């Protein structure tokens, strides 16, 4: 088996480790819908993969990778709360934001991240989305794009700290 080009006399420099971690963080940030899978794939590559750099887990701070997971979840959560994305291929709907909030919440609890700022940001995005949706649908510009039930929407809003939603949403939501 060929030795990794990063290994010089059995050691990888701190600078090279930092570069490797930055590359892995970049992969996670652009990983798609499941950043935790990219995270665990990255950990395998860094520490176990015979083709990887074979780093020693005790010598490497993976906080950068965890932050990349957090940021990717944040980005995909907010993506589906932007009215301008409703007609784009990347749009998955409020229902996907609900699922991604739950995934983010589980990740944050496991890794000790505070998600209050993301919740405030998501709340603001959700309210803007809903106001735009009501306006666009009632003016005839578009048909409804809310892909969850009203009860799911209420629960999501409550999770984000929103006490009341704009009037007229119930008829724009999916039926049970």
Q: Mind listing the pLDDT tens digit for each residue in 80-109?
A: 999 999 999 999 999 999 999 999 999 999
- Asked if residue 46 lies in contact with residue 65, where contact means CB atoms within 8 angstroms, the answer is no
Distance CA 133, CA 168 (A): 10
Residue 176 — very low, low, confident or very high, per pLDDT cuts 50/70/90? low
Top-confidence residue, 133 or 176 = 133
Say which residue the tokens 């970049």 belong to: 26
Pair of tokens at residue 120: 């405030």
pLDDT at residue 5 is higher than 70: no
Residue 3 — very low, low, confident or very high, per pLDDT cuts 50/70/90? very low
Q: What is the pLDDT of residue 174?
A: 86
Query: Domain ranges in the chain?
Result: 12-79, 82-176
Distance CA 83, CA 85 (A): 5
List, for residues 158-168, the tens digit of each pLDDT value.
Answer: 999 999 999 99
Write the CB contacts of 172 (distance below 8 Å, at least 6 apart in sequence). Answer: 133, 134, 137, 144, 146
Distance CA 42, CA 55 (A): 12
Q: Which residues of 111-130 are buried (b: 16+ CB within 10 A; e: fewer)?
A: eebebeebbebbbebbbebb
Say which residue the tokens 């794939």 belong to: 41
Distance CA 163, CA 44 (A): 43
Distance CA 76, CA 91 (A): 9
Question: Which residues are 4's β-sheet partners?
Answer: none
Q: What is the pLDDT of residue 7?
A: 44
């Amino acid at each position: 088996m060929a030795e990794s080009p990063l290994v010089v006399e059995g050691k990888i420099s701190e600078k090279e480790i930092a570069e490797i971690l930055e590359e892995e963080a970049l992969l996670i940030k652009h990983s798609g819908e499941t950043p935790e899978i990219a995270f665990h794939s990255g950990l395998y590559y860094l520490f176990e993969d015979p083709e990887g750099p074979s780093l020693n887990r005790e010598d490497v701070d993976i906080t950068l990778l965890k932050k990349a997971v957090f940021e990717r979840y944040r980005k995909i959560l907010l993506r589906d709360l932007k009215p301008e994305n409703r007609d784009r291929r990347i749009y998955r709907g409020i229902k996907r934001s609900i699922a991604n909030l739950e995934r983010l919440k589980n990740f944050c609890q496991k890794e000790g991240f505070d998600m209050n700022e993301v919740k405030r940001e998501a709340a603001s995005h959700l309210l803007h989305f809903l106001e735009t949706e009501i306006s666009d649908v009632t003016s005839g510009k578009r048909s409804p794009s809310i892909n969850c039930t009203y009860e799911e929407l209420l629960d999501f809003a409550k999770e984000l700290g929103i006490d009341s939603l704009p009037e007229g949403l119930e008829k724009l939501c999916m039926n049970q």
